[in-house]
């Protein structure tokens, strides 16, 4: 079994359990407030960490290359309230263009 399938299996089972956690186990009770506030921060924290590695990550080094231009263009697109798909297309196009020229 290759790594993609292991990821599919484990993430699938865990996510199914997460979605069922409330309806199956918890019923009408609420999460304790301190647990709730930690869980609330997980999504933004993970997303920004992914932005950083996806933009600057290299093979155990920080690299500044065509991706930075592409992500910079995407920042402008997002700031101008472009749709997510448009922002992704802008990032890919600018990065590809810089790679072509460089």
Sites for another protein among residues 43-82 (CB under 8 A): 43-62, 66-67, 70-71, 74-75, 77-78
* CA-to-CA separations, 20 to 8, 14, 25, 26, 47, in angstroms, rounded: 18, 10, 8, 9, 23
16 binds another protein (CB under 8 A): yes
Least distance from C-beta 17 to another protein, angstroms? 9
Shortest distance, position 73 Cβ to another protein, whole Å: 8
Contact between 39 and another protein per CB under 8 A? yes
62 - beta bridge partners?
A: 57
Could you tell me the smallest distance in angstroms from the CB atom of residue 64 to another protein? 12
The answer to whether 84 contacts another protein (rule: CB under 8 A) is yes
Render 69-81 in DSSP notation, one character per residue.
HHHHHHHHHHHTT
Q: Answer whether 67's CB lies under 8 Å from 54's CB.
A: yes
């Amino acid at each position: 079994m290759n790594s993609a399938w292991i990821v599919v299996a484990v993430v699938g089972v865990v996510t199914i359990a997460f979605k069922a956690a409330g309806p199956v186990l918890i019923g009408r009770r609420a999460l304790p407030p301190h647990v709730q506030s930690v869980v609330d921060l997980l999504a933004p924290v993970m997303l920004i960490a992914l932005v950083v590695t996806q933009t600057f990550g290299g093979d155990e080094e920080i690299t500044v290359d065509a991706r930075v231009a592409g992500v910079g263009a995407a920042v402008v697109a997002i700031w101008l309230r472009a749709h997510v798909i448009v922002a992704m297309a802008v990032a890919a196009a600018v990065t590809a263009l810089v790679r072509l020229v460089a």
